[in-house]
Amino acid sequence: MVIKKIFIFFSLISLATFNVLGEPYQGNASLGPLKTPSCGFCHGMDGIATMPSYPNLRGQNEQYLFSSMKAYQNGNRKGDFAEMMRTQLSALNNQDLADIAAFYATMKDK
Ligand code: HEC
C-alpha cells in the first residue's frame, strides 16, 4: 500500500519534470485563427504586419514564436511595445500560445 503511494508520488514528480523540460504543448494550427482575432489587427491575419513598425509573424519559427510570447507574458521583454504585447497575451494559456505559434509558423511564403 505504502509502496504504491510512493510509486504514484514519484510518477507524478517525473511527469511534472517532463512537462518542464520537454515540449508538452503540441500546437494545433487550425485552432490558431480562433485564438488570434485581435492579433490580425496589427500582425495581419495572413501574418504580414499592417504597419512597418510591427513584426511579420508569417512563417516564423514555431518555437521562437512560442518563447517570444512567453517572454512577453513573463515580463522578460521590455519596452512600450513589449508592455502592450504583454497585455495582448495576458488572457492566453500555454496551449493557446502553442496553437497560435503553429498557426503562424505553418503559413508559407507568398
Ligand atoms: C496593437 C498592435 C498589436 C496587437 C493587437 C498584437 N501585437 Fe504582437 N506585436 C506588436 C508589436 C509592436 C510587437 C513588437 C514588440 C516589441 O517591441 O517587442 C509585437 C510582437 C509580437 C511577437 C514577437 C515577434 C518577434 O519577431 O519577436 C509575437 C509572437 C506577437 N507579437 C504575437 C501577437 C499575438 C499572438 C497577438 C494577439 C493575441 C498580438 N501579437 C497582438 C503589435 C501588436
Judged against a pLDDT cut of 50, whether residue 5 lies above it is answered with yes
Q: pLDDT-based confidence at 105, cuts 50/70/90?
A: very high
Q: Can you read off the three cell numbers belonging to residue 12?
A: 507524478
Calculate how far, in angstroms, residue 22's C-alpha sits from the geometric centre of ligand 1. 25
The number of beta carbons lying within 10 Å of the beta carbon of residue 80 is 7
Q: How far is residue 76 from each of residues 37, 67, 69, 110, measured CA to CA in Å?
A: 25, 10, 10, 32
Pocket test for ligand 1, best of 51, 73, 88 (most atoms within 8 A of CB): 88
Q: Can you read off the three cell numbers belonging to residue 76?
A: 522578460
Query: Is the Cβ atom of 36 under 6 angstroms away from ligand 1?
Result: yes
Q: pLDDT-based confidence at 14, cuts 50/70/90?
A: very low
The most distant pair of C-alpha atoms in the chain lies apart, rounded to whole Å, by 64
Query: Is the Cβ atom of 101 under 6 angstroms away from ligand 1?
Result: no
